Amino acid sequence: MSRISLVGLAVTVLESIIMPFLLVGILRSCRSRLQKRRGPRVVQPLYDFLRLARKQTVLSDETGPIFKNAPVVSLTAYGLVALVVPWAGLPAPISADLILFVFLLAAARMATGLAAMDTSTAFGGMGASRESALSIFVEPTLVLALSAVAIYQGSPWLNALIATPVSTGGSAYVLPLAVAAIWICAAAETARMPIEDPVTHLELTMIHEAQLLEYSGPRLALMEYQAGLKLTVYYGLIAQMLINEIVIKTPITRWAATTTIMFCLVVLAAIIDTVLVRLHWRKLPDLLAFGLAFSLVACLLAALKG
């Protein structure tokens, strides 16, 4: 392993520990400020994690082994995702393609969905059903958008996002379209507006959150951290695509640019969370279909190159 990749590994691991808390903290803080409230400190998510990690786990006696072990499975999947996607602006420690990325996400989704079914509650099953319904849009969109990028970059490997400044002469619109598609996927996956209200306490309207209602203590801590990690990876991925056009020479500038863009994206997410109205459940397919359409157009443009 070269020195760059060792440093990359260290930075990625370190960042994947810090960034989820930081990004979620900034997001919450910004949202509060935008709503003229003081809001929690930026480091509050970390304190929450530590508080939850110290607590005793309370379980309903209707839950089974899947529920108990799902946080480990899904967080492992997300941990691997964080290691195969070059989200931090540095080459990912493990070289993989978009297909592994998407199927790791699917593994986490399956673990969470089954855990929700294992709670024997109406809300759990409802959440799993809703999440499954959304995933049939998210997964193809993600695959298509990332494939378009892969064609544009000329390589199926995700690390190509970092390595090659664009030279294939494809349409300049591929990346922006893919970014738009992935942004919509990210909104669906990380429970953001206008798909899901991240601050709601109403179980009936929850999608992703409804699956986690029964968790407590360290397991809830893992699930919350996982949500942060998901946000981080998605925004990091989007940041890579955004700065792809700009030729950045050194890894340090690239890392700095990525981090800055991630913070900007989080602020943007906070603004969207504040000003948008949550869509009706039956209108969600329309929005997600937009994402699908963006990714299809991106594919078309990528396919037409050369």
Strand partners, 97: 157
- Whichever of 90 and 185 has its CB closer to another protein, that residue is 185
- Whichever of 112 and 254 has its CB closer to another protein, that residue is 112
Q: How far is the CB of 248 from another protein (least distance, A)?
A: 25
Instruction: Please tell me the distance from the alpha carbon of residue 93 to that of residue 13, in angstroms, as a whole number.
Output: 9
Q: How far is the CB of 97 from another protein (least distance, A)?
A: 6
- Whichever of 39 and 251 has its CB closer to another protein, that residue is 39
Dig out the tokens for 192 from the structure.
């953001």
- Whichever of 205 and 259 has its CB closer to another protein, that residue is 205
- Whichever of 174 and 239 has its CB closer to another protein, that residue is 174
Q: How far is the CB of 303 from another protein (least distance, A)?
A: 4
Which residue, among 270, 280, 220, has the nearest Cα to 45 in the 3D structure? Answer: 220
Which residue, among 128, 94, 90, 304, has the nearest Cα to 211 in the 3D structure? Answer: 128
- Whichever of 198 and 239 has its CB closer to another protein, that residue is 198
Q: How far is the CB of 252 from another protein (least distance, A)?
A: 26
Long-range CB pairs of 166-174, under 8 A, 24+ apart, other chains included: 166/244, 166/245, 168/305, 168/306, 169/305, 169/306, 170/301, 170/302, 170/305, 170/306, 171/301, 171/302, 171/304, 171/305, 172/245, 173/297, 173/298, 173/301, 174/148, 174/149, 174/298, 174/301, 174/302
Q: What SS3 state is found at 71?
A: helix
Q: How far is the CB of 274 from another protein (least distance, A)?
A: 4
Q: How far is the CB of 257 from another protein (least distance, A)?
A: 27
Instruction: Please tell me the distance from the alpha carbon of residue 185 to that of residue 203, in angstroms, as a whole number.
Output: 22
- Whichever of 201 and 249 has its CB closer to another protein, that residue is 201
- Whichever of 44 and 129 has its CB closer to another protein, that residue is 129
Q: How far is the CB of 32 from another protein (least distance, A)?
A: 9
| Length of the chain as a residue count | 306
Q: How far is the CB of 283 from another protein (least distance, A)?
A: 7
Which residue, among 1, 4, 3, has the nearest Cα to 162 in the 3D structure? Answer: 4
Which residue, among 131, 82, 85, has the nearest Cα to 106 in the 3D structure? Answer: 131
Which residue is it, tokens 């929005």?
287
Which residue, among 69, 98, 72, has the nearest Cα to 85 in the 3D structure? Answer: 98
